[in-house]
Amino acid sequence: MNYEEYLNQKTKRHIESGFDVDTSEMNPALFEFQKHCVKKALKSGRFALFEDCGLGKTPQQLEWCEQISKREKSPVLILAPLAVSGQTIQEAKKFGYEIERLDTGNYNLKPITYIINYDRLNDVDTSLFVGVALDESSILKNFEGKLRNKIVDGFRHTPYKSCWTATPSPNDPMELGNHSEFLGLMSRNEMLSMYFIHDGGDTSKWRLKGHCEQKFWQWVSSWAIMINRPSDIGYSDEGYILPDLNMINEIIETTSRDQYRLFNDVAVNATNFNQELRLTMDDRLKRAAEIANNSSENFIIWIKQDIEGEYLRRLIPDAVEVKGSDKPELKESRLLGFANNEFRVLITKAKIAQYGLNYQNCHNQIFASLDFSFESLYQAIRRSHRFGQKHNVTLWIITTDTMQNVIKSIRTKQGQFMRMQQMMVDAMKSNYVAEKKTTQTISIKLPTFLKAI
């Protein structure tokens, strides 16, 4: 055994525990690339699907659940963010799937798909379900330890598990440890000790060991798939070409706050960020209101603080706001109402509406407040700029001259995201070659090679 063979022997790989399904037995409304992804997830038994916004994760998820409930004659559960449950039920009706909201007091469940919001999980008997799907699974990192542990521990012995999200956090590969631990493949701590190194200081600052980078992504690609468009796995992109994205950066110059200086500091930090938002609120929000009021089209305005929502509602008469303090029923009613064109302008925070919601009815967004999170910005943009959008999407990003390091930070994280995607694609190719070399010699050109993954 040479050294390379020894290293390959040490590589962790996911052992499939699912079952095979012929794609001809799936819902004919699914596209071929969607059937391919569902088939792969079912055969794996425990799998993560990182698919870009608008690729149809919801019907794929519903098909995954239905195939399992039919085979095992037992109920399957979908956990989803608030308001996404309502949209999932609407999608299920459109595609002909049977799904019901879970009544936590009902222990006589049918062998169908049930759905419930994450925040109601404490009332659920998880042992009743043979399978579970985490919708928008990247929000695992947002949960407090108790609820996160409830998800991991509550479904520890569930035979079939899946995670569905557009992307894990691009600047934090460790988030993949949450997915791995939930799926029962490797704990987050095991993953860190095997592939990462800690440089001291902040406990969240781990980085991949240089010699482990390729092995890490090969391991991830053995239990997950990441695609931006159907052609990533060899299928046609017809109908999946995104419209143009027009970004308008508006920088508001602030007046000097120190009589001895001509300009204010140009870099905010985590300590003074919220203070800077309050100091610049009037100029930023007046400009956001001016943009929305000079149009009759739909708008989403993203804010960071409740006081900003109150301010904007006074300036935009036909706007509705969704706040964290609203009752769940009101949140869902307004978030779905905007999707159904019942309101023209939606004011909310990214942490409330950035995950899972489909707002192709709106092609205008204003970021009146911007923070350091690339993932938050990316997810918020993709509520509108997603496959199925029929118009070019216009974004207004309103910042001040004191917040330019925020833009710089986001651009850095965007580069990390693109590198992560490339490493994952390369690893998928590598895994495919490794699997096929055991049975045959491969000599394929790139397009055919991608189609075979």
* Furthest CA-CA distance within the chain: 76
3-class secondary structure, 348: strand
CB 428 within 8 A of CB 225: yes
Tell me whether strands 196-198 and 206-208 are parallel, antiparallel or unpaired: antiparallel
pTM above 0.75, yes or no: yes
Cβ atoms within 10 Å, residue 74: 18
The pLDDT tens digits of the residues spanning 21-55 come to 999 999 999 999 999 999 999 999 999 999 888 89
What average pLDDT does range 310-315 have in this prediction? 96
Cβ atoms within 10 Å, residue 447: 10
Please state which CATH number belongs to domain 3-238+418-452.
3.40.50.10810
pLDDT at residue number 167: 65
Domain positions in the chain? 3-238+418-452, 245-402
CB 29 within 8 A of CB 35: no
The pLDDT tens digits of the residues spanning 99-146 come to 999 998 888 999 999 999 998 998 899 999 999 999 988 777 766 677
pLDDT at residue number 226: 86
Q: Could you give the angle at the alpha carbon of 325 between the alpha carbons of 341 and 281, nearest 5°? A: 80
Q: Using CB atoms within 10 A of its CB, is residue 168 exposed (0-12), middle (13-18) or buried (19+)?
A: buried
The pair of three-digit structure tokens given for residue 434, joined into one six-digit string: 């490794």
Q: Which of 21, 106, 33, 32 is nearest to 65 (CA)?
A: 21
Task: Compute the distance between CA of residue 410 and CA of residue 47 in angstroms, rounded to an integer.
Answer: 29
Cβ atoms within 10 Å, residue 258: 9
**Residue % of the chain over a pLDDT of 70:** 82
Amino acid at 234: G
CB 79 within 8 A of CB 65: no
CB 361 within 8 A of CB 339: yes
CB 243 within 8 A of CB 37: no
Kindly write down the DSSP assignment for every residue of 266-302, as one continuous string.
S---TTTHHHHHHHTHHHHHHHHHHHHHT-SS-EEEE
pLDDT score of 203 more than 70: no
Q: Assign 337 a pLDDT band (cuts: 50, 70, 90).
A: very high
Least confident of 27-41, 235-249, 340-354: 235-249
SS percent in the chain: helix, strand, coil, step 5: 45, 15, 40
Q: Which of 180, 148, 143 is nearest to 161 (CA)?
A: 180
What average pLDDT does range 348-364 have in this prediction? 89
The pair of three-digit structure tokens given for residue 194, joined into one six-digit string: 């095997």
Q: Assign 5 a pLDDT band (cuts: 50, 70, 90).
A: low
* CATH architecture assigned to 245-402: 3-Layer(aba) Sandwich (3.40)
CB 175 within 8 A of CB 137: no
